[in-house]
Amino acid sequence: MAGLALEGVGRDYGATRAVGRVDLAFREGELTALLGPSGCGKTTLLRIIAGLEPPSRGRILLGGRDITAMPAHLRRFGMVFQSFALFPHLNVRDNVAYSLAISGTGRAARHARADELLDLVRLGHLGDRSISALSGGQKQRVAIARALAQDPEVFLLDEPMSALDAKLREEMQVELRLLQQRLGITTIVVTHDQREAMSMADRIVVMSEGRAEQVGAPQEIYDRPDNAFVAGFIGRNNFFDAVAVPGGLEADGYRLALEPGPAFRPGSPVRAACRPERIRLGQDLPEGNRLPARVVFVRAIGSERDVHVETPLGPFVVAQGSGLQGGDGIAAGREVALHLPPGALQVYPAQSRPREVA
Amino acid sequence: MSDESLPAPRAGAPGPGARIGGGTLLQVGLAVLLAFLCLAPFALIVAISFGEKVQGAAWIWSVDPGNYARVFVGALWPEEFSGLYLQRLWYSVLYATLGAVLAVATAFPFTWFLTRTGRRAQTIWLVFLLSSVSVSEVFVVMGWDILLSNRSGLPMVARETGLTDWLKAVGWFDTLRGWGLANPRDLKFKTSATATVLTMTYLVWPYAVILLYPPLSRLDPALTEAARTMGARPATVIRTVVLPVLRLPLLGAVMFLFVYLLGVYVTVSVFAAPSQQTLAVSIYDAVRGATLDAPFGAAQSVVLLAVAALCLWFGQRLGGRGA
């Protein structure tokens, strides 16, 4: 297989455009996460890839072959559903062996394959158990084993961790990633959880309002967001309005240097952002790019803390890490100074506003 | 604090455990009333079934098992065996089974597609079906009586449109005659087992849809989609996922309609041939008809009830094993 490609794929429901025109290439053996808030079209896009929804426009290519009109049962992409969708009338082994049973594989052969897959997901001892007697994590593993039984060319997962508790979710993220790397299968995971996407994916597709806003490696997207939406959705950020000036920005009378300089015409209104962990606070700050601030709240979590401050440009959050020394006098009500490093400032067109992200 | 400070219980006053509230009394009263309403008519019928018919008069209380013997082996046994009432029992079970299975089998695909239409269309269909339930058996039978009548119904339409001649030309007319659906000249639906079963099916079809709608609309669409992604064609999805998952609701619907159809009277008396009448018709004839033999009618009722209970038990065992 030479990978999966989407060319201008979109989906409309009457007058509502769920997915605009998406062009994406999924590389063979990679795990790609479709990440975005609820209603951004990521699940619809996954369902189009699986053949469960017909696209309103565009083409889907698998190894260069057009499979747009191919029904789901002929594509045979393994898929794990949000609810796991395990068949309640079959036991664990027969669930895993379902695709082999309907394709006419003999009983002994399909049971052997099912047991092999159950061993792979560490459930080899539960083959005879009823689905209703499984825990959430076990159900998810059965769903994964079942989707892999037909040796799919593409492995699709729709919010696979959403039904699991936080601890189990983190364990399963690692387990799923290790399994995917071992099998080398092209995998697409839909999630709204940026931590899940960042910890599992080779590449992330950040989606919003039916569009792919940015495609890239997790760290690349975090360090260099293409627009204010991505900057606000991936990780935390402090946003403020400014005007582009030669070599930097001007915001509420404060001049801030940028490295490299802004790619905006001087006088253009812009939206600037700075990650909380890149802001410096307190004594011995470098010259320039300073703002006066008043501490309004300190949220301390062990050796780390978030300092919420009020500045002339609006509220900022400053994240201070493990090198923190006690007794530096940072407390609510204290007047301090902030330093926004020139290389940490990101600048976007003024009309692109980040969406509130929980 | 000393024990003396506690107020001493009055002699003869009931403790908290012995107190009976008004709510408990109401519950007991309702339970007794329900038990009476459910059991009294049944007990009365069982008691009457052992009664004795007095020729030229009504009947008297007795402990005579002769009415049951008459149902199973005939009134002249052991000199002569008659299976007339067993045959009627057989037709009761046969018509009810066929009608119930046919109604559920045809309502299932309809309800399946209904649950996949928009909310508005579903509401319109369900209101229409619920309103059709309010039409009485007599009205339905009258409509089907006209539709299937030999002079003005479908046989007349077939004759006038040339369908009857075409059936004769291709040789299918003789096949229909073999099934009792044609006389030497025309198609004929009355009287026939086909017309009886079809009318019964029509009678309970809205109930079948209403019974199947909740489980079908609750079926997780991800189950069928999962099967599709694993290579199952639509028919395979129905056969290997939908029907097994909905096995119990389907069986329950068949059993409910079966019990309902066991007691259908008007349809059978209009559409079934005299030799293929059911026990329900026979019971009515005994109780209210020419013979006025209430004990024999009661005995037939008890037998019909026992057979219904037996069928339900068998169905439950079948469903339980599947689950």
**In a domain? residue A358:** no
* pLDDT of the residue at A229: 92
* pLDDT of the residue at B303: 96
B161 confidence band (pLDDT: 50, 70, 90): very high
Name the minimum distance, in Å, from the CA of A218 to any CA of chain B. Answer: 29
* pLDDT of the residue at B130: 86
pLDDT for A354 beyond 80? no
- A150 contact residues in B (CB cutoff 8 A): 230-231
Q: What is the 3-state secondary structure (H, E, C) of B227-270?
A: HHHCCCCHHHHHHHHHHHHCHHHHHHHHHHHHHHHHCCCHHHHH
**Range among B38-42, B116-120, B233-237, B287-291 with highest mean pLDDT value:** B233-237
Q: Per residue in B253-301, pLDDT tens?
A: 999 999 999 999 999 999 999 999 999 999 999 988 777 889 999 999 9
- CA–CA dist A355, A232 (Å, integer): 7
End-to-end CA separation in angstroms for chain B: 61
A186, A210, A229 - which closes a domain: A229
Same domain, A246 and A203: no
**In a domain? residue A325:** yes
**In a domain? residue B208:** yes
* pLDDT of the residue at A353: 53
**What are the strands, taking DSSP E only, across A134-237?**
154-158, 186-191, 203-208, 211-216
- CA–CA dist A146, A92 (Å, integer): 9
Nearest to B228 among A73, A103, A150 (CB): A73
- CA–CA dist B104, B145 (Å, integer): 23
Name the minimum distance, in Å, from the CA of A75 to any CA of chain B. Answer: 7
**In a domain? residue A354:** no
**In a domain? residue A104:** yes
Same domain, A220 and A309: no
Chain B residues near any Cβ of chain A (below 8 Å): 220, 222-223, 225-233, 236, 240-241, 244-245, 247, 322
> Which of A43, A77, A81, A131 to probe by mutation at the B interface, max B CB count within 10 Å?
A81
- A97 contact residues in B (CB cutoff 8 A): none
> Which of A47, A82, A87 to probe by mutation at the B interface, max B CB count within 10 Å?
A87
| Contact (Cβ atoms closer than 8 angstroms) between residue A79 and residue A157 | yes
**In a domain? residue B82:** no
**Which chain B residue is nearest to residue A77, measuring alpha carbons?**
B229
> Which of A44, A49, A52 to probe by mutation at the B interface, max B CB count within 10 Å?
A52
Nearest to A102 among B231, B245, B247 (CB): B231
| A17: phi then psi, degrees, rounded to nearest 5 | -95, 105
- CA–CA dist B112, B122 (Å, integer): 11
CA proximity to B100, closest of B260, B238, B245: B260
Q: Per residue in A127-149, pLDDT tens?
A: 999 999 999 989 999 999 999 99
Mean pLDDT computed over every residue of chain A:
90
**Which chain A residue is nearest to residue B225, measuring alpha carbons?**
A52
pLDDT for B11 beyond 90? no
Entry pTM: 0.81
Same domain, A246 and A186: no
Q: Per residue in A245-277, pLDDT tens?
A: 988 899 999 999 988 766 788 888 999 999 999
**In a domain? residue A220:** yes
Burial of A213-230, coded b for 16+ CB within 10 Å and e otherwise, reads bbbbebeebbeebbbbbb
Same domain, A243 and A187: no
- CA–CA dist A276, A278 (Å, integer): 6
Kindly state the percentage of chain A with pLDDT values over 70: 95
* pLDDT of the residue at B6: 46
Residue A305, chain B, CB below 8 Å: the answer is no
B5 confidence band (pLDDT: 50, 70, 90): very low
- A71 contact residues in B (CB cutoff 8 A): 228
**In a domain? residue B120:** yes
Number of other residues whose CB lies within 10 A of the CB of residue A69: 11
**Range among B75-79, B127-131, B158-162 with highest mean pLDDT value:** B158-162
For the ranges B94-98, B121-125, B180-184, the lowest mean pLDDT is seen at B180-184
Name the minimum distance, in Å, from the CA of B45 to any CA of chain A. Answer: 43
**In a domain? residue A188:** yes
**In a domain? residue B5:** no
Contact flag A52-B228 (C-beta cutoff 8 Å): yes
A229, A254, A271 - which closes a domain: A229
Residue A155, chain B, CB below 8 Å: the answer is no
The CATH number given to whatever domain includes residue A173 is 3.40.50.300
- A140 contact residues in B (CB cutoff 8 A): none
* pLDDT of the residue at A357: 35
The CATH number given to whatever domain includes residue B116 is 1.10.3720.10
* pLDDT of the residue at B318: 82
**In a domain? residue B22:** no
Q: How many CB pairs under 8 A join A and B?
A: 71
Query: Which 8-state DSSP code applies to residue A226?
Result: S
Residue A339: domain span: 230-280+289-349
* pLDDT of the residue at A282: 78
Average pLDDT over residues B2-17: 47
**In a domain? residue B259:** yes
Q: Is A333 helix (H, G, I), strand (E, B) or coil?
A: coil
Same domain, A219 and A249: no
* pLDDT of the residue at B4: 42
Residue A178 burial (10 A CB sphere; 0-12, 13-18, 19+) = exposed
- B247 contact residues in A (CB cutoff 8 A): 89
- B232 contact residues in A (CB cutoff 8 A): 73, 102
**In a domain? residue A357:** no
Same domain, A80 and A138: yes
Query: Which 8-state DSSP code applies to residue A152?
Result: -
**In a domain? residue B51:** no
User: Could you write out the DSSP letters of every residue in B55-111?
Assistant: TTS-EE----THHHHHHHH-TTTTTS---HHHHHHHHHHHHHHHHHHHHHHHHHHHH
pLDDT for B56 beyond 80? no
- CA–CA dist A267, A170 (Å, integer): 47
* pLDDT of the residue at B321: 64
Contact flag A52-B225 (C-beta cutoff 8 Å): yes
Same domain, A210 and A108: yes
Same domain, A208 and A272: no
**Which chain A residue is nearest to residue B244, measuring alpha carbons?**
A89
Same domain, A178 and A293: no
Contact flag B229-A52 (C-beta cutoff 8 Å): yes
Contact flag A85-B225 (C-beta cutoff 8 Å): yes
Q: Per residue in A196-213, pLDDT tens?
A: 999 899 999 999 999 999
**Which chain A residue is nearest to residue B323, measuring alpha carbons?**
A89
**In a domain? residue A355:** no
The CATH number given to whatever domain includes residue A264 is 2.40.50.140
Same domain, A53 and A190: yes
> Which of A98, A110, A113 to probe by mutation at the B interface, max B CB count within 10 Å?
A98
Nearest to A102 among B232, B244, B247 (CB): B232
Residue B177: domain span: 99-289
State the total domains in chain A. 2
DSSP3 helix / strand / coil % (chain B, rounded to 5): 70, 0, 25
- A149 contact residues in B (CB cutoff 8 A): 230
* pLDDT of the residue at A13: 93
Mean pLDDT computed over every residue of chain B:
89
Same domain, A205 and A64: yes
**In a domain? residue B174:** yes
Give A327 or B186, the one with higher predicted confidence. B186
Same domain, A210 and A273: no
* pLDDT of the residue at A261: 67
Q: Per residue in A297-326, pLDDT tens?
A: 999 887 789 999 999 999 999 998 765 555
Question: Which residue carries 């082999």 as its tokens?
Answer: A100
Asked whether the CA dihedral A274, A278, A280, A284 is positive or negative, the reply is negative
Burial of B235-266, coded b for 16+ CB within 10 Å and e otherwise, reads ebbbebbbebbbebbbbbbbbbbbbbbbbbeb
Contact flag A98-B225 (C-beta cutoff 8 Å): no
Residue A71, chain B, CB below 8 Å: the answer is yes
**Which chain B residue is nearest to residue A50, measuring alpha carbons?**
B229
The ipTM value here is 0.85
Contact flag B229-A146 (C-beta cutoff 8 Å): no
Q: Is B213 helix (H, G, I), strand (E, B) or coil?
A: helix
* pLDDT of the residue at A291: 92
Nearest to A79 among B226, B247, B322 (CB): B226
State the total domains in chain B. 1
Name the minimum distance, in Å, from the CA of B129 to any CA of chain A. Answer: 29
* pLDDT of the residue at A347: 92
For residues B178, B182, B187 and B193, what is the CA-based torsion angle, rounded to 10 degrees?
-80
Contact flag B228-A102 (C-beta cutoff 8 Å): no
